[in-house]
Structure 1
Amino acid sequence: MKFTLLIFILLTNLIYAKTLDKVSIQFNWKYQFEFAGFIAAKEKGFYNDVNLEVEFKEYDLQTDIMYDVLNQKTTYGISNSNVVLDKSKIAPIVLLATYLQKSPLVLVTQPSIKHPNQLIGKTIMGGKDELKYSSIALLFSHFGINNINSGFNSNKYDLNDFIEGKVDAITAFRSNQLYELDKKGISYNIIDPIDYGFVVNALNLYTSKKEALENKNRTLKFIEATNKGWEYALNNSEEIVDILISKYKVEKSKEALLYEAKIIKELVMRDLYPIGKVSSDLGKRLLKQLIYSGAIDQNQKIEPIFFDNDFERNINDFFLTKSQRNYLENKKIINLCVDPDWYPIEYVKDKKLYGFTSDIVKLFQEQIQTKIDLVLTKDWNESLEAAKNRQCDIISGISADFEREKFLNFTQPLLSLPILMATQNDKPFIQDISLIKEKVGILKGHFALSYLKEKFPNIEWIEVSSMNIGLKLVERNEIYGFIDNSLVLSSTIQKEFANSLKIGYRFDIEDRISIGIRNDEPILYEIFNNLVNDLDEEKKQLFLNNWTKIVEQVGIFTSKEIVIFSIVITLFLFSLMFYQIKLKKLNKELEKLSSTDKLTGLNNRFEIDKKLILEKEKVNRNNKYSCSLILIDVDHFKKINDTLGHLAGDEILKEVSNLFINNFRKTDAIGRWGGEEFMIILPFTTKKQAEIVAENIRVAVENKIFSQKINDPVTISLGVGELLRNKTIEQTLYSIDKALYIAKEKGRNKIEVTS
């Protein structure tokens, strides 16, 4: 009987084992507390609970994690950057989770090296990815440190080489190598990329796009089990440390691992972020930094992919009814017409579609798994004729009007943009356009033409075949102005006519840009209207950012607020009392530094995040309480850096910061948000009051005489908004950031208030 029972148990276990789905994860270092969440999920059975058998792979210097993940040699990988590169291109990976919201990666140098400039000509040791794609790599690029003028060693990593003076600098984690150096009494200096504007996170979990698409449920289970493991590890650090020593044979003392656990807990930042939270904002900023550094091809269209509960809906499994699927299967190809010369919304070059629309089309094509083919036309009017004659099934970048509704149905608008008029720079700004009795150009077939002709009969309207032709006519003074929407005009003027044209007038109508669908195929309309409705604002903004870099003129410093992290040196049992007192005093100073931006002395990004949460709680509790926010960007800061140098740029940031300090109340919180951006929190202040405050500070900066000799005055653009009970902090910040973008789009040195 006992033998039979034993056989039954063994058979049951075998059957159960076969049901486990085998996956693997390649760590980016040796076993240590940095991977505690994964280890806890395995040792406490969280992976088994979701039918996963997980293999851990330790790192060695010959490992190419990205290659192994993309080629299915391992299922998941770890990166200290939330953007993974493959030969100057974004690797087709999907970011699943981020476990360290602040990166512990720093550069440890010999005591005589205190500034990045001093690294030129020196020997630097670190991992391959750390020297190529991390925040340290961005720092090197920024200061012109490369393998031509300096020595890089990524084939070996030995802390003793630094201790013995064989290398001048070495990459290190605050939670790891610093403990060893302190324990041995080694003198060193720290160069932290955060101090120079490169704010990134670390311990990013990713997989291939193929794996995420084909095994969504498995991926979701892995993330959930790992997050559970991290929760357990952070609450039971000593138990996990014992497991690391006994089972994973980690050759570190228990004290060293507990020290590491303490630092890791702080880097996870559970008080501000849910475990595993992915910051898409940091990802976007890092992309901009990589583009500026030259690590990424500027012509590459970039969209990092983040895995979340909407991944299936947004990327692969867009919901289609049976009739819609049958329709698309029979349709096979959808023909698309566009405006071939309407930068940056859409334009055709070498028979290929580019611009904002191209990103939209690629996304939709992937979602419905149906090819969308471009129909080539010579101009917009020809595209309209092709749509009317059913030569194309859809036409993008189009606004509805009475005539077009005879042959097209229209989706909800993708964009709503004001209609503006471009004039020569020396023309005065127009107060009343009804007084103008001159020629004004407009695109032939433009939706607003009938309305404008009727409302302004005194103007002689000249129809042209393309925007560039119209703007050249303005430049040559053959017509007074040219009409189009704000995005198209401002982008093209800044790209090609910056020295000759400007925006001279804003009309009271908007260009509501939609996708037009042939009206004899209602199922096609249903599909595309649903696609547009499912497109979230964040993704649209990302697509816009891909094609408006010239307008933005992103500065060198585009990362979030610079932050110095507090280093806690473990007290040894037999330390002298004098050393203990000295250490406590040092810790107090470092605690202050951890909330302060090193360059400006203002609150850093993470301190501002905390204050935002506190203010949001006040708004939620008291419906009479108001708190407004101002997001500020120093205009054309890249030009300042390129012309005067980074040190001069830093001095201007300091002077702007001092101006803020002297012009705001003690109750206001002033912080450096990232690079040349600043955030002001105004308690007990309505949005209307904040707009007045914003105007005062705008004027103060415009009128300030800076110590640096600059040809053009330093100015700022401002976005103003208010914390509301029915909106999250993220939603409010998105609205304010969008308002700031509009202020810059309107010519900078302006204020835009959220609606």
Structure 2
Amino acid sequence: MSAHDRRRSRLLGPAAALAATALLATACGGGDDDARDVAVIIDQERCDTNREAGPITFVTGYHYQASVTQLEVVAAEAMGLFDSLCLDVTIQPGNGDLMGNAQLVSAGTAHFTAMSNEAEVLQADARDHRIVGLATYGHVPIATLLTGTDVKDLTDLEGGTLGHQSLLPAPLEAMLVAADVDLDSIEQVEAGYDPGVLPRGQVQALTGFRSNEPHRLDAMGEEYTQWLPEDFGVVGSFGVMVASPEWTEEHPTATEDFLRAVGRAFDHCSEEAEECVGYAADLDLAGYDTEHNLQVWDTERDLVASSTPEGEPRGFVDLELTEREGETLLDNGELDEIPDPGPLFDTRYLEAVHDGGDPIWPDEG
């Protein structure tokens, strides 16, 4: 028995519990020597249609970090939810090059991937990467600016040094502009991925993700102040699921059921975070900080819940906010013009597997 099959055997209980009463107890491919028995919960016709889509590759944004749009996919595969919908999904770890991932999807090498925010979908379009946004799970900026507790107003940063990973994120630049900060008076430097540069005084401000660096500083026992773009009227997003527009048009039921399984896994992981983070840890061969990744998931999950209006499906897209987010890229020169966001997002597949704000699982009627 392979390691994958041993893990599948270990996870059969949770998968069956989520599937409740299975409609079929057979592999819908039928007849293949390597087919596994699964709890199939869709009718044979839909199962066959999904099988015809062939192997499906999802590329993570950054390794197996427990971020929204990543952990749910890992959990859905581990729990057998994709199998129960007759989808053959392979998860490929990304290295943080999100535009590179978008290019893979555009070229048809991959089928789904996660982007950090909707602004990146606009940027990908400007680079002629053909992708379509299917769902946006978070509707606040994930970027945050961290300073020492001595900074009482963002203008206090003038004359100081701001550290970032590669560039100043657009929502943070918009926040500083809204706070009347003279950006030309601030030295910007690449600070790497050690948040300790802030308490050591090597920088006076540090960019980060609110689900990451604050938790690392907390673990160090350091004090800091966190500045959030939405407090200054800046809109943003995070956790965007994108796909190939040609592939989704050709395989609509597979697209719907991929999102259905991901949504089901999100609900499960909201209640069983340690279990789901454990699935990601099983895939990571380089060591995995389980405690930190639990914090990443809990923070982002809570942000998704708090930023999703009642009655809207989790993952809804507000094109007005998308355009406003694009304006931040226009203002800082990262886009020459804002494309029409309408053709770049398609929520038909998400809406097809929701009844209002509630996800639909086939065997529950």
Write the distance in 2 (CA, Å) between the matches of 1:185 and 1:113: 19
Trace 1:5-44 onto structure 2 (pairs within 5 A).
12-14=32-34, 21-34=54-67, 35-44=70-79
Between the two proteins, the alignment pairs up a number of residues equal to: 300
Shift of 1:284: 3.0
Q: Deviations over 1:130-172 (max 9, x none)?
A: 735x422433565577699532428x32223334333333332
* Identical aligned residues as a percent: 20
**Corresponding residue of 1:274:** 313
Write the distance in 2 (CA, Å) between the matches of 1:243 and 1:28: 17
Write the distance in 1 (CA, Å) between the matches of 2:173 and 2:104: 22
Q: Deviations over 1:528-583 (max 9, x none)?
A: xxxxxxxxxxxxxxxxxxxxxxxxxxxxxxxxxxxxxxxxxxxxxxxxxxxxxxxx
Of 88, 93, 109 in structure 1, the residue corresponding to residue 131 of structure 2 is: 93
Q: In structure 2, list runs of 5 or more residues that go unmatched.
A: 1-26, 38-50, 351-355, 357-365
When residues 196 and 52 of structure 1 are mapped into structure 2, their CA distance, relative to the original with a 3 A threshold, is same
Write the distance in 1 (CA, Å) between the matches of 2:143 and 2:183: 19
- The higher relative CO (CA closer than 8 Å, separation ≥ 6) is in 2
Q: Say which SS state the counterpart of residue 297 (structure 1) adopts.
A: coil
2:58–2:90 contact (8 Å) kept in structure 1: yes
When residues 126 and 66 of structure 1 are mapped into structure 2, their CA distance, relative to the original with a 3 A threshold, is farther
Trace 1:134-145 onto structure 2 (pairs within 5 A).
134-139=170-175
Write the distance in 2 (CA, Å) between the matches of 1:57 and 1:63: 14
Trace 1:116-515 onto structure 2 (pairs within 5 A).
116-120=154-158, 122-128=160-166, 131-132=168-169, 134-139=170-175, 150-153=187-190, 156-248=192-284, 251-254=288-291, 256-269=292-305, 272=310, 273-298=312-337, 303=342, 305-309=344-348
Write the distance in 2 (CA, Å) between the matches of 1:261 and 1:177: 13
Q: Deviations over 1:184-241 (max 9, x none)?
A: 1112221211111112221111124344444444333322221122122112222113
1:61–1:127 contact (8 Å) kept in structure 2: no
Write the distance in 1 (CA, Å) between the matches of 2:59 and 2:261: 17
2:323–2:341 contact (8 Å) kept in structure 1: no
Write the distance in 2 (CA, Å) between the matches of 1:219 and 1:148: 48
**Equivalent residue letter for 2:131:** I
1:26–1:56 contact (8 Å) kept in structure 2: yes
**Equivalent residue letter for 1:38:** V
Q: Deviations over 1:581-635 (max 9, x none)?
A: xxxxxxxxxxxxxxxxxxxxxxxxxxxxxxxxxxxxxxxxxxxxxxxxxxxxxxx
Shift of 1:64: 3.4
Using the size of structure 1 for normalisation, the TM-score is 0.35
Flag the structure with higher strand content.
1
When residues 189 and 222 of structure 1 are mapped into structure 2, their CA distance, relative to the original with a 3 A threshold, is same
Write the distance in 1 (CA, Å) between the matches of 2:36 and 2:177: 52
Q: In structure 1, list runs of 5 or more residues that go unmatched.
A: 1-8, 312-727, 729-755
Write the distance in 2 (CA, Å) between the matches of 1:74 and 1:166: 41
1:103–1:267 contact (8 Å) kept in structure 2: no
Shift of 1:63: 7.0
Write the distance in 2 (CA, Å) between the matches of 1:213 and 1:23: 15
* RMSD between superposed Cα atoms in Å: 3.8
2:117–2:240 contact (8 Å) kept in structure 1: yes
**Corresponding residue of 1:330:** none
Write the distance in 2 (CA, Å) between the matches of 1:64 and 1:146: 30
Q: Which protein has the larger Cα radius of gyration, Structure 1 or Structure 2?
A: 1
When residues 260 and 292 of structure 1 are mapped into structure 2, their CA distance, relative to the original with a 3 A threshold, is closer
**Corresponding residue of 1:64:** 100
Shift of 1:106: 0.8
When residues 304 and 289 of structure 1 are mapped into structure 2, their CA distance, relative to the original with a 3 A threshold, is farther
**Corresponding residue of 1:376:** none
